[in-house]
Structure 1
C-alpha cells in the first residue's frame, strides 16, 4: 500500500520530533543508570525510528539507526557520560561529587569491582575515548562559579571592516593597513613596549603554534615561539601568543620601567574576546588567564592596549610573528598529548566524545550481521544525515535502500504468502529496479533521463541507492519518480500521536526498574 499519508510529515521532521520528544526521556540521568539493563529501550528506538522512516517494524535496529543518522542508545549514553565526567572533574575538589570521582579515579585499575559503579563505568568510557582520540581528561579547564572579568560587549572599530581579508586584500588596502598601523604606533615612547602576536595551525584543527615579536624600549627585539598542541584551532594559537607575550613582558617591566604596552594581533576574534568583551564559549580558562595577566600588569601601573593588525599586509612585526608561529606549529606535530600547554575545555570533551562514539559506531556497522543489504549501499555512518531529503517519494527510496520491503522480505516475516513478484520472479530490490519486465518501459525512460542529465549509462540499484555511486543525488532521486513504485504490503499508515502515547505509557511502566528511588536520591545528592 502507499505511504502517502505519512509523507505529509517529512522524514526529517519526524526524526526531529523523535529526537526532541522521545530521546530526552531515554537519556535522562544516564550517567547514573547506564549500568542497568537497558535493552528494553532499544526496542523503543528501533520501532520509533522505523515508524519515522516508513519501514516495517521488523527492520533491524542497526539499519534504522544508520538510515536515520541517530546514534545507538548505548553509544549515546557513553557520549553523555563522558561529558558528565568532564563536568564533574571541572568542579572544585571540595564538592562531594568531585571528591568521590577523584577517589574512584585513584583506585581505577588497581581494584576490580564486583558490580560496576557509575563512576567506574564513566572512567572506562573516558579511557576508550583516550585510545580513539587525542584528548585526555588529565588537565581540565576548571569550572567558574563567578565572572570576575565580565565586561560589556563592544562593536568592532570601523577600520576592521575597511582593510579586507588576507586572501582578498587589494594593494590599496595593504597600503592603508600599513599607514593605519604606523598611526597607531605614532605615540610610542621610551617607556612603551610593542608586540606583534600570531597563531598558526596546520589544518584547522591541527598542530598549533604561537609566535610573537616584541620590541622593547631600548630597541631590543624578543622573538617568542611556542608549540601549543598537536590538535587545536587557530584561535587557540592566537590566544596563546598573547598569553606568552604578557608573561614575557611581566618580567621585563621593571628592567625598562615600562608603563605602556601595545599588543597587535592579526586575529579579530582574539582581540574581540580579550578587549571588546565578545562571548567566548570554548576557551574560557585560557582567556581568563590572559585577563589575569593583564590585571597584574595594570596593578603594576602598566597600561595594556590591544589592537588588530591586518595579516599578510607587509607589516614587518606581523610577518616575523607569523613566521615564528608557523615554525612552532611544525614543531607541534611531534608533540605528545601530555606535553600540550592547554587545559582540556568542555568543548574539547564534547567534540572528542562525539568523535569517539562515531568511530565505535562505524566499527560496529562494519561487523554487525544485520542490515548487510544497507551496508552495501551505505557503508559509512553519518550522524544526522538522512538520504533523499526533499523528495516526495523519500520513504519509498529509503525502503528500497534498507532492503526491508518487497515480497522476498515480507514473505520471510510472514507478511505475505509468496516471495514472487507479479511477473513470476522472486521480488528482491535488485529484481525490482534492474530486471522486472512489468516496469521495462519506465526503466528505459529512467535510463535515458539519467544519461541525459548525468552522462551515466550503467543502470544498477547502486546507481540509484548507493552513497558511493551517487554523483547527482537530487537529479537521480527526482528521476526515480518516473519508475512506478507500485509496491504492495508496505508498512501500514500509523497515528503518530498514538506512537508517542504508547511510548510514554511503556516508559512509565518500565521506569520503576530503571529509576529506583535510591538512584534518584543518589543523583540529587550529587547536585
Structure 2
C-alpha cells in the first residue's frame, strides 16, 4: 500500500505544478476554472481505481494523499501553508480524501448491487471474507458503513442497464417539443405563462390522448412521488399515483412519472391505436434526457421509457412529448401535481433507486459529517456548517484576500507577517503573541490586525461596514458575501498606504 500511495503522489505532484502555472497572487484563471482543473485533473489521478484500495489504506497513507489535496487547495485559494486544513479545503470547494473514501466505497457497493445475479462483482460484494488485520477494512465494510450512515442501507438498488436500445431503431414518430413557441421568462406572471401555454397546446391534434404527468421529491432528493392524469378522446379520465423511491431526485421522479403514465396507457383498452398521444410534463431536464434518442439512453429508466414510447408508435401512432410551464394554472398539470404530492406519502420500501441517487445521498451525508466536525474558528463563525460559494471576482488579488481573510490567515496583516518573520521589530524580531506591539493594527492601534479585527471591529472601516452590511458591528455570517469581504479588504489596504505600508 505504501508503494502504491507513493506512485499516486508521484503522479499527482506534476499535475499540481501545472495548476500552479495557471494562476498566481494577482493573475491567472478564475476560481471556477481552477476548481474544475483540480477536481478533474488532480483528483482524477489521485482517485483512479481508489474504491478498490483506498478503504484499506491506513490513516498515515491517507494523510499523505490529503497533503496533495491541500496543496491543490492552496493553489486555488492562494492561502498560505499555515492555513488550517478544514477552512482551506472548504474555501477551495474540495472535500477531504477521508470523506471521499466512504463515497467511493459506497459507489462500488451500489454498482455491485445493481449487477445481475451471478455477476463476478456482485458475487465478491456478497461474499464474506475474513479480515487479515483488525484495523484494516475493505471496500465492502467501508461501503456498508457509509450506506448505514446515510440511512440508505436497506434501499433496494435498481438493476443497471445491460442492453441498450440499438441506435438504428426508428424513433422519428416521437416528437419532442421543449418550448411553447415564444420565449417566456420564468419570472413572467402565471397568467401570462398559462395563456401562452394554452395557445400552444391548442395547435396540437384535437382527437389525441392527453397524458399529464408530474413528479415530486422532497427537497429534490427524497420521498419521491408520481402522479398522472390520462384523458381519452371520449372524455374518460384515469388517474395514477405511486411512490418513486425514498431516495429520488426531481428529474428521476419526472421520468418515473412518464414511465408510469405510459405503462398505464398501454394497459388501457378501447381502440386507441389510431389516436395520437400528447404527453405533457413540466421538467425540461427529463424531456431533454429522453430527446437525445432511444439509442443514447444510458440508464435503465430512460431506456424503459423509450421502449414504452416505441411500443406506442409501433402501429404508426404519433407521440408528442411536450414541455409546459409549471405552477401557472394549467388544469391537467395542476391535477398531476396534486396526485404526485399525495403519492410521496405512500410506502417507499419496495421502490428501487438508481446507483447515482444512492451515491449522491452518501456524498451528502459524508460531506455533512465533515462540515459538522469543523473545529471552532473564525471561519466556522462565518460559515457555520455551510460550504463557501466560489468567489467570482474579476481581480484575482481580491479573490485571494477574501479566501485568506475568511480562513483566518491573511498574508497582508501585520500580525501574520510578524509571526513568520517578515515584519521584524527592534525589540521583537519574530513571535506569535497577538499581544505583541508589532502585531497591532497600523491604522487604529487598538489591537492585533487579525482577520476578525479587520472585518468586524476596526474603526477605520465602520463606515464601510455600515454601507455594505447595514451595521458597524455586523453579524459574522454576513461575511459569506465575498464581494463585501473584498470591499472591506480593499478599504483597509487603502488606509494603510498613506502610512507608508503598501503591499508587502
Instruction: Give the TM-score normalised by the residue count of structure 2.
Output: 0.70
Which residue of 2 is the match for residue 502 of structure 1? Answer: none
Match of 1:284 among 299, 304, 313: 299
Which residue of 2 is the match for residue 305 of structure 1? Answer: 319
Q: Secondary structure at the match of 2:26?
A: helix
Q: Deviations over 1:426-475 (max 9, x none)?
A: 627899885369x99xx65533344345543238xx86x97469893343
Structure 1 residue 264 and structure 2 residue 315: aligned?
no
Q: CA deviation at 1:134?
A: 5.2
Match of 1:478 among 486, 490, 502: 490
Greater Cα shift, 51-60 or 321-330:
51-60
Structure 1 residue 36 and structure 2 residue 57: aligned?
yes
Q: Check 1:100–1:328 CA distance in 2 against 1; reply closer, same or farther (3 A cut).
A: same
Match of 1:382 among 387, 390, 411: 387
User: Does structure 2 retain, via aligned residues, the 8 Å contact 1:211–1:322?
Assistant: no
Match of 2:111 among 87, 91, 99: 87
Structure showing greater relative contact order (alpha-carbon pairs closer than 8 Å, 6 or more residues apart)? 1
Structure 1 residue 125 and structure 2 residue 143: aligned?
yes
Q: Secondary structure at the match of 2:229?
A: strand
Structure 1 residue 345 and structure 2 residue 354: aligned?
yes
For residues 83 and 460 of structure 2, what CA distance do their matches in structure 1 show?
32
Q: Check 1:480–1:409 CA distance in 2 against 1; reply closer, same or farther (3 A cut).
A: closer
Q: CA deviation at 1:326?
A: 1.6
For residues 392 and 193 of structure 2, what CA distance do their matches in structure 1 show?
45
Q: Secondary structure at the match of 2:437?
A: coil
Structure 1 residue 243 and structure 2 residue 259: aligned?
yes
Match of 1:76 among 87, 90, 100: 100
Q: CA deviation at 1:184?
A: 3.2
User: Does structure 2 retain, via aligned residues, the 8 Å contact 1:55–1:399?
Assistant: yes
For residues 218 and 335 of structure 2, what CA distance do their matches in structure 1 show?
13
User: Does structure 1 retain, via aligned residues, the 8 Å contact 2:421–2:430?
Assistant: no
Q: Secondary structure at the match of 2:245?
A: strand
User: Does structure 2 retain, via aligned residues, the 8 Å contact 1:211–1:321?
Assistant: no
Q: Secondary structure at the match of 1:356?
A: helix
Which residue of 2 is the match for residue 498 of structure 1? Answer: none
Q: Check 1:230–1:389 CA distance in 2 against 1; reply closer, same or farther (3 A cut).
A: farther
Which residue of 1 is the match for residue 439 of structure 2? Answer: 427
User: Does structure 2 retain, via aligned residues, the 8 Å contact 1:227–1:329?
Assistant: no
Listed as ranges, the matches of 1:151-230 within 5 Å are 160-162=180-182, 164=184, 168=188, 177-178=197-198, 181=201, 184-187=204-207, 193-201=209-217, 203-205=219-221, 207-216=223-232, 219-230=235-246
Which protein has the larger Cα radius of gyration, Structure 1 or Structure 2? 1
Q: Secondary structure at the match of 1:161?
A: coil
Q: Secondary structure at the match of 2:320?
A: strand
Which residue of 2 is the match for residue 26 of structure 1? Answer: 46
Q: CA deviation at 1:75?
A: 1.5
Q: CA deviation at 1:305?
A: 1.9
Instruction: Give the TM-score normalised by the residue count of structure 1.
Output: 0.68
- Segments of structure 1 that go 5 or more residues without pairing to the other structure are 491-527
Match of 1:330 among 342, 351, 374: 342
Match of 1:355 among 364, 368, 378: 364
Q: CA deviation at 1:125?
A: 2.9
Q: Deviations over 1:21-67 (max 9, x none)?
A: 54333222211221123232233334554466454434443343233
Structure 1 residue 7 and structure 2 residue 19: aligned?
no
- Segments of structure 2 that go 5 or more residues without pairing to the other structure are 1-22
For residues 196 and 398 of structure 2, what CA distance do their matches in structure 1 show?
57
Q: Check 1:177–1:168 CA distance in 2 against 1; reply closer, same or farther (3 A cut).
A: same
Match of 1:446 among 458, 461, 465: 461
Q: Check 1:314–1:6 CA distance in 2 against 1; reply closer, same or farther (3 A cut).
A: closer
For residues 206 and 137 of structure 2, what CA distance do their matches in structure 1 show?
59
Q: Deviations over 1:317-343 (max 9, x none)?
A: x625632442431341x3455243xx4
Q: Deviations over 1:172-214 (max 9, x none)?
A: 87567546545534345xxxx5443333455544544322333
Q: Secondary structure at the match of 2:242?
A: strand
Greater Cα shift, 303-312 or 79-88:
303-312
Match of 1:365 among 364, 367, 374: 374
CA RMSD of aligned residues (A): 4.9
Aligned residues: 459
For residues 72 and 214 of structure 1, what CA distance do their matches in structure 2 show?
49
Q: Check 1:391–1:216 CA distance in 2 against 1; reply closer, same or farther (3 A cut).
A: closer
For residues 144 and 250 of structure 1, what CA distance do their matches in structure 2 show?
24
For residues 335 and 362 of structure 2, what CA distance do their matches in structure 1 show?
34
Q: Deviations over 1:97-135 (max 9, x none)?
A: 23222x33xx4xxx7634379984344334424433558
User: Does structure 1 retain, via aligned residues, the 8 Å contact 2:440–2:448?
Assistant: no
For residues 175 and 141 of structure 2, what CA distance do their matches in structure 1 show?
43
For residues 27 and 52 of structure 1, what CA distance do their matches in structure 2 show?
19
Q: CA deviation at 1:362?
A: 0.8
For residues 199 and 41 of structure 2, what CA distance do their matches in structure 1 show?
58
User: Does structure 1 retain, via aligned residues, the 8 Å contact 2:440–2:446?
Assistant: no
User: Does structure 1 retain, via aligned residues, the 8 Å contact 2:247–2:358?
Assistant: no
For residues 214 and 416 of structure 2, what CA distance do their matches in structure 1 show?
61
User: Does structure 1 retain, via aligned residues, the 8 Å contact 2:280–2:321?
Assistant: yes
